[in-house]
Structure 1
Amino acid sequence: MIFHDTFSRYRRMIAAVFIIGISAGPAIAEAPASSSSLQGTFLVAAPGSQGPFQQTAVLVIGHDDDGAAGVVVNRATDRTLADILADPPSNKTADYNIFSGGPLRPRALSVLQRTEPDADVSGMRTVTPAMSYSINSESIDAVLEQAPAANQVRFFAGYTAWDADQLEREISSGAWLITTAEAADIFETEPDTLWARLMERITGRSGPAMQEEGGDL
């Protein structure tokens, strides 16, 4: 998987990606048409895949004709916000683990919050009716001031992104499987088990049956 460290373009896309719609089915076997957005779905690394995205689940934050961006949601680190924020707006930072969101800008902090469909999430991007995301420091501070429960918010260091048509090519090659993303998948499932649970959802198989030949990611 080839990445380009285009942080400013990523932020513009997250702020203004044009959404056409996604398939309602649990998975799709071929690359989406250029007019179809995968925002709000999981990219699940194919069984047997090797490389930095082995057994990962990526939540697609934005996807349009210019490319796609997302965060890996199942790689928790042993760090918390208390380890990296010198003057946080909340004293609960030690409650919030940091997840490794991807190889791009590994020090860039972002937040994913579980939200009600009609909640006021100004300054954040609505990824699904139940989840909102931001990489903006002011939005992150606003979330911290709310001091949400640790099982209602996820903080990420880094992200992943694809250039135009790159993700579609990777899907066509079999590198990723696709399924809809539910808030419960992220906020109510142990990160270490998420990949296996999603694979079982998609394929109906579990355990050693999933460990097939795969490609590099």
Structure 2
Amino acid sequence: MSKLLPKKGRLLVAEPSILNDNSFNRAIVLLTEHTDNNSVGFILNKPLEYCIKDLLPEIDCDFNIYQGGPVEQDNLYFVHRIPQLLDNSIEVANGVFWGGDFKQLKDLLNSGLLEESDIRFFLGYSGWDKDQLEDELSGNSWFVTENNFENIFSNDEESLWKNKLLEKGGNYKLWANAPNDFNLN
């Protein structure tokens, strides 16, 4: 079975070999951009202790915010599945879109017209320069998989990484049940 290559819309799954990387330990990253020059994505399974109204008090909404990655952690980004409601959305793949008109989004959130399963917010993003991601893939820091979720925003982030390892099979099944803290083993 050949390895999948990175592509916009696919998922990067952190290999067990990078368990001591604070940013990417057990991470699942949705690639929202992949070109010859760079790659950009957002970590789907690292919720933070904040919600939208904690960061933007003018928005009356308690949707969770996630750690998107180690780059530009003072910026808020969003990925969604409501392009018909947000002008200037950029299609990623499989009904998932990135960005769009923030004023429209603010109005939708304040009106209570969105479900949390429609959108996910991130502080920061994950980014790679030319050849950096390929080097990390060659170094077994990640493996690439299709985004086969009907809705990536309604998945249980606690089990997301484990389920992707179980799906991959082989030796990955052993790692899927490893404790977060090996000192507990």
Same fold (TM over 0.5): yes
Relative to structure 1, is the Cα distance of residues 182 and 162 closer, same or farther in structure 2, using a 3 angstrom cutoff?
same
Q: How far did 1:129 drift?
A: 3.1
TM-align CA RMSD? 2.6
**Corresponding residue number in structure 2 for 1:109:** 76
Question: Once structures 1 and 2 are overlaid, which stretch shifts more, 55-64 or 150-159?
Answer: 150-159
Relative to structure 1, is the Cα distance of residues 129 and 61 closer, same or farther in structure 2, using a 3 angstrom cutoff?
same
Alignment equivalent of 1:62, drawn from 3, 23, 33: 33
What's the TM-score, normalizing by structure 1? Answer: 0.70
**Corresponding residue number in structure 2 for 1:131:** 96
**Corresponding residue number in structure 1 for 2:127:** 161
Secondary structure of the 1:98 match is: strand
Name the CA distance, whole Å, in 1 between partners of 2:43 and 2:136.
16
What's the TM-score, normalizing by structure 2? Answer: 0.82
Q: How far did 1:188 drift?
A: 2.7
Relative to structure 1, is the Cα distance of residues 137 and 188 closer, same or farther in structure 2, using a 3 angstrom cutoff?
closer
Q: How far did 1:122 drift?
A: 2.8
**Corresponding residue number in structure 2 for 1:12:** none
Q: After the TM superposition, which residues 55-204 of structure 1 pair with which residues of structure 2 at under 5 Å, given as runs? A: 55-88=26-59, 91=60, 93-94=61-62, 96-115=63-82, 119=84, 121-134=86-99, 137-138=102-103, 140-141=105-106, 144=109, 147-184=113-150, 186-203=152-169
**Corresponding residue number in structure 2 for 1:51:** 21
Relative to structure 1, is the Cα distance of residues 86 and 121 closer, same or farther in structure 2, using a 3 angstrom cutoff?
closer
Greater RCO (CA < 8 Å, at least 6 residues apart): 1
Structure 1 gap ranges (5+): 1-24, 212-217
Name the CA distance, whole Å, in 1 between partners of 2:176 and 2:33.
32
Question: Taking every aligned residue pair, what percent have the same amino acid on both sides?
Answer: 25
> Across the two proteins, how many residue pairs are aligned to each other?
174
